[in-house]
Amino acid sequence: MSEPLVLSRQEGGVLYLTINRESKLNALNRAVIEQLRDAFAKAGHHSDTRCVVLTGAGDRAFAAGADIGEIRDLTKEEVAAFVEAGHELMNAIENLGKPVIAAINGYALGGGCELALACTLRIASSNARIGLPEVTLGLIPGYGGTQRLSRLAGRGRALHMMLTGQAVTAETALQWGLLNEVVEAGELMNAAGELAEQLAASAPLAMKAIIAAVHQGADLALARSLDLERQYFERVCHSADMREGTAAFLEKRKPVFKGN
Does 154 have pLDDT greater than 90? yes
pLDDT in tens, 92-108: 999 999 999 999 999 99
- Residues 130 and 103 occupy one common structural domain: yes
Name the residue type at position 160.
H
The alpha carbon of 98 is separated from its chain's Cα centroid by a whole number of angstroms, namely 10
- Residues 189 and 103 occupy one common structural domain: yes
Predicted local confidence at residue 70, as pLDDT: 78
pLDDT in tens, 56-103: 999 999 999 887 777 778 888 988 998 999 999 999 999 999 999 999
- Residues 122 and 231 occupy one common structural domain: no
In a domain, 1, yes or no: no
pLDDT in tens, 219-246: 899 999 999 999 999 999 999 999 999 9
- Residues 144 and 171 occupy one common structural domain: yes
- Residues 53 and 28 occupy one common structural domain: yes
pTM of the predicted structure, to 2 decimals: 0.94
In a domain, 255, yes or no: no
- Residues 246 and 171 occupy one common structural domain: no
The residue range of the domain holding 147 is 6-200
Q: What is the mean pLDDT of the chain?
A: 94
H or E stretch at 61: strand 61-64
Which residues belong to the active site?
114, 134
- Residues 218 and 177 occupy one common structural domain: no
Give me the CATH number covering residue 72: 3.90.226.10
| DSSP single-letter state for residue 5 | S
- Residues 90 and 178 occupy one common structural domain: yes
In a domain, 101, yes or no: yes
- Residues 66 and 178 occupy one common structural domain: yes
Q: How far apart are CA 222 and CA 239, in angstroms?
A: 26
Overall number of domains in the chain: 2
Across 123-152, average pLDDT:
96
Q: How far apart are CA 120 and CA 101, in angstroms?
A: 6
In a domain, 196, yes or no: yes
- Residues 41 and 168 occupy one common structural domain: yes
Predicted local confidence at residue 67, as pLDDT: 76
Confidence bin at 1 (pLDDT 50/70/90): low
Q: How many residues does the chain have?
A: 260
- Integer angstrom CA distances of residue 145 from 110, 234, 237, 239, 258: 8, 34, 35, 36, 35
Does 9 have pLDDT greater than 90? yes
Task: Kindly give the residue spans of alpha helices, DSSP state H, lying in the chain.
Answer: 30-45, 68-71, 76-94, 111-118, 145-153, 155-164, 170-175, 188-200, 204-217, 222-237, 240-250
